Structure 1
């Protein structure tokens, strides 16, 4: 961020940037408080489709971070918005948790296993063989295949566990049908977030901890990007990618002074 273009809006990933295993990363609360003090628009983004914004707000609040639920944008919400734009008042067979089913109900979608318009796959901790088999048969029968995000695995207290991308690969292997992924790294999620807060790409920065999702999707959406090293990507791994973030910092605490440095002067 050597250019002195002002920053009017901020997008930030959640896990690995603001929190780590239910604990706030030092500087996260100060960063968000500074944005609110300066009345700058912002959204906290996550590929996690398990929880509703209300659930995530409570999770952040428990770690000492206080933001309104309207400031949280999930892959489930982005997926629901995409489906509402594509086929309003449609139907879907859903493999997912309340974050996804609530988002789809809110746009008027019907949940059904009988000739649905879409099979929609999201994150869940309770994938069942029966539900996956039904999804395979529906996709093979002509239902359109949508997934909230391509993450193949996710962390847990006991180690890695399969995530949406891994289950999607299973369904694809059985049917030959690839899903359309709505969440990061699809820049569609970035654009939907920008529209949500009426922000412009030229005056918005994306903060993330993953080169392969946060940074590439921000880059492809025309945003300046900041990589923090408190999550998935190490400094050594940055050079392995054919693209680079606008800036690399140790943690979100290093972004706090940048908020003031690039804030609009008025």
Structure 2
């Protein structure tokens, strides 16, 4: 078979790796895209790391990657704000990847009368963090959320994600944030623009029906599901019913996807 898309937006966790372990075939998939000169970007909801750090972690696993090929929800949030309101005053609830992205985008970091509160994963989050975020937002600051993930997979199982922290802030303020990352379309549309393609010419590759495939659908892209992580053969129908949509293509592993890129029949 031949895949009809000209470029790809590729999820990371669950698609190319689990924790620090590469998914079998991930290195060969990226190698095949490079061999065929097919444009692609890595798109991650993780706001805690910089693109350079993400690329380095991929290379350590054996997956070819450059910082300029990485789109994070932190960079997406920073660009969204810098385009909308250059030099805006921003309070940060998050880690160094988010702080770095906002500073590099020319935004002013402050805890005094911010125009925006930008929140991502924050593993130092405590009652005082919640109190300050609620004070800023109820005081008139607009609320931006990098990504809505409730749980994050890690070496020791699942941990609360940015969406779980956001649930507390929303409960305290009654305000829903503007969300940048998957399954919303803002980060995806930025990445499509960086590829220089249209949404119809681009497909999202990912393992999660709720975030990856949902984001592809919301952005008007093609969607390719790999059964390498969250979505499996066993729960696929459940997720189809839950989300109300189906991927354009489904591959049981990355080797099947590589064969499709090479034009081979399954």
Please give the range of the TM-score, normalised by the shorter of the 2 chains: over 0.9
Q: Indicate conservation of the 8 Å contact 2:121/2:165, yes or no.
A: no
**Does the residue aligned with 1:160 lie in a helix, a strand or coil?**
strand
| Deviation, structure 1 residue 175 | 0.9
1:254: which partner in 2? 256
1:11 counterpart (5, 9, 12): 9
8 A Cα contact 1:17 1:251, kept in partner:
no
Map 1:11-90 to 2 at 5 A. Answer: 11-90=9-88
The CA distance in 1 between the partners of 2:188 and 2:230, in whole Å, is 20
* Structure 2 gap ranges (5+): none
Q: Does the CA-based 8 Å contact 1:12-1:44 persist in structure 2?
A: yes
Residue in structure 2 matching 1:163, options 158, 161, 164: 161
Matches within 5 A, 1:218-237: 218-237=216-235
Indicate the residue corresponding to 2:194 in structure 1: 196
Q: Using the alignment, how far apart are the partners of 2:65 and 2:157 within structure 1?
A: 29
Q: Which runs of 4+ in 1 moved over 4 A?
A: none
Report the Cα distance in structure 2 between the residues aligned to 1:157 and 1:65, rounded to whole angstroms: 19
Higher deviation after alignment, 251-260 or 94-103: 251-260
Report the secondary structure of 1:155's partner residue: strand
What is the CA–CA distance in structure 2 between the aligned matches of 1:129 and 1:111, rounded to whole Å?
21
| Separation in structure 1 between the aligned mates of residue 48 and residue 213 of structure 2, nearest angstrom | 23
Alignment deviations for residues 28-58 of structure 1 (CA, whole Å, 9 cap, x no partner): 1111111111111100111000000111111
> Which shows bigger deviation, 206-215 or 192-201?
192-201
SS at match of 1:73: strand
C-alpha distance in structure 1 between counterparts of 2:211 and 2:56, whole Å: 25
Query: Cα deviation per residue 1:218-238 (whole Å; 9 max; x = unaligned)?
Result: 012221111111111122322
CA contact (8 A) 1:5 1:203 kept: no
Tell me by how many angstroms 1:198 deviates: 0.9
TM-score between both structures, scaled by the size of structure 1:
0.93
- Give the number of aligned pairs: 260
SS in 1 for 2:235: helix
Question: How far is the alpha carbon of 1:165 from its aligned partner?
Answer: 0.6
Cα distance in 2, alignment partners of residues 249 and 80 from structure 1? 34
Whole-angstrom CA distance in 1 between matches of 2:100 and 2:254: 31
Partner-residue secondary structure (3-state), 2:154: coil
Normalised to the residue count of structure 2, the TM-score between the two structures is 0.93
Q: CA deviation at 1:88?
A: 1.0
1:54-105 deviation per Cα after TM superposition (whole angstroms, max 9, x unaligned): 1111111111112111111111111111111211110111011111111111
- Contact kept? 1:228, 1:250, Cα under 8 Å: yes
Q: Quick one: distance in 1 between partners of 2:6 and 2:124?
A: 40
Query: 2:237 maps to what in 1?
Result: 239
CA RMSD of aligned residues (A): 1.5
Rounded to whole Å, the distance in 2 between the matches of 1:124 and 1:63 is 25
